[in-house]
Amino acid sequence: MASSSSSVAVGLLISILASFFMVSSAGKFNQDFDIVWGQNKAKELNYGQILTLNLDKESGSGFESKNEYLFGKIDMQIKLVPGNSAGTVTAYYLSSKGANWDEIDFEFLGNVTGEPYILHTNVFCQGKGNREQQFYLWFDPTKDFHTYTILWNPQRIIFYVDGIPIREFENLESYGIPFPRHQPMRIYSTLWNADDWATRGGLVKTDWSQAPFTASYTNFNDDNACVWTYGQYSSCDSNNDNGAWYWEKLSFARRGQMKWVQKNYMIYNYCTDYKRFPYGLPEECNIKNQEF
């Protein structure tokens, strides 16, 4: 057991160090994104290498990608709202449109100074979500930029934090469970007020004397992604060599990292919430050998 724990710890250290030395080919934010909400509250800094979203009592702000994607491994480095961020939510996600949309969510739920952020994850398939898992982080996400990665390929979705997998959602269509595989999605991020639910179920309200609240973004990387063009073609359609990410799955060591995170930092898992689902857990939770 000791050697197994040591291997996981070494793997975690390597992944964390790698995140800080990540080489990105990111360009200016205005080349990749449009500001779609609170235009006067979103600002480009450092010649477009950094984008900030701001929230005050008047409104929040948000952006969306110019491109749509059908599968990809997409990185964004984010520094979250510092100090008393209670009531605020910084959302970073992929989403399609329409009544039966697909969506892959990172949401960061603010808290009072000194209390940890909650990282809220969810997966929507054909307009149906209710697949939440929540985590504390093993670092202060307000002190520096950290890398949040969504891997989405035809076989699985994996959420990574600084290169460390925290959650996997597999394609179980063979069991009749929908998987987001057919609808292209854009990248979105918003900073908004959700003090009716975000912090302790809405018990802690936003302290507007701390406004404006600011989240910062840098080093966006979509080099390993399939861009959807002309409403019908993916950049991967004519490329048989889509890269290792297109077939990526968790190695034994990576799965050990994920188990470590889930054991030590997971605070909510829909697949163990029998009170919420008194008539039976969602079907994917009951499939033999699935790890949640």
3-state secondary structure at position 83: coil
CA within 13 Å, CB half, 235: 15
Tokens, residue 189: 């991020």
CA distances from 82 to 89, 195, 198, 204 (A): 12, 16, 16, 16
C-beta of residue 261 within 8 angstroms of C-beta of residue 250: no
Tell me how many helices (H) and strands (E) the chain has.
3, 16
The β-bridge relationship of strands 146-152 and 68-79 is: antiparallel
Tokens representing 272 are 């163990």
31 dihedral zone (left: phi>0; alpha: psi -120 to 50; beta) = alpha
User: Which residues are known catalytic residues?
Assistant: 103, 107
